[in-house]
Amino acid sequence: QSNVYGIELEGRVALSERFEFRSNISLVKSYTKVEDRRLVIENGTKSWVVLGIIERNMFGQAPYVLNAILNYTSLKGFSASLSYNIQGPKLVLTSIDESPDIYEMPRHLLNLKLAQPLGKRFNLSFTIKDILNTQARRSYKYDEGYLLDFDRFRYGTEYALAIAYTLNSSGK
C-alpha cells in the first residue's frame, strides 16, 4: 500500500521582451507499507513468514523538487535556456533484513539548451546536461541519523547536437 500527498507551486515572470524566468517547487510526502517477510524452508517446503509491516518512503520519490529556468528568445527564433534542478533525498536501494535503506542525496544540476530554426521545418539544437558534472552521493542513516556514504560517482556531462524535422508545423 502506497500513498503520495503533495503540492506544487509554479510561477512565471517576463523580465523583458526577450527574457523570461520560470520556476516551480513541489513538496511531497510519500510512504509505502511493505510486509517484512522471511523465507522459511522446512522439510523441503518453502514458505514465507510475515514478521510485521514496515513503513518507509516510497521508492524513487523525492520529498521536494525545485526547478528554475531562464529563457531567451530572439526576433529570428533563436532561443537559449539555462535550467537548474535539485531534488531532495530519494530512496534508491531498499534494505534486506537489518541493512539500512540507501538514499541518493540532493545534487545541483545545471543544463543549457541552444536552438535555432532552419527554415519552416528544420530546427538545430545543442544541449549540455549536467554542466557542473555534479557528484552523485548515495548514503544511509547510521546510529541515530548520522549519514555514511554508500558510494559516490559522477554520471558525466552530456552533450547533444540535434537536427529535427517537423512533419506538419501548421497543425493542418
Q: Answer whether 0.85 is exceeded by the pTM.
A: no
40 is written with which cell numbers? 522459511
By three-state DSSP, how is residue 172 classified?
Answer: coil
**Strand 2-14 and strand 158-165: pairing?**
unpaired
Q: At residue 52, does pLDDT exceed 90?
A: no
Least confident of 29-33, 34-38, 69-73, 84-88: 34-38
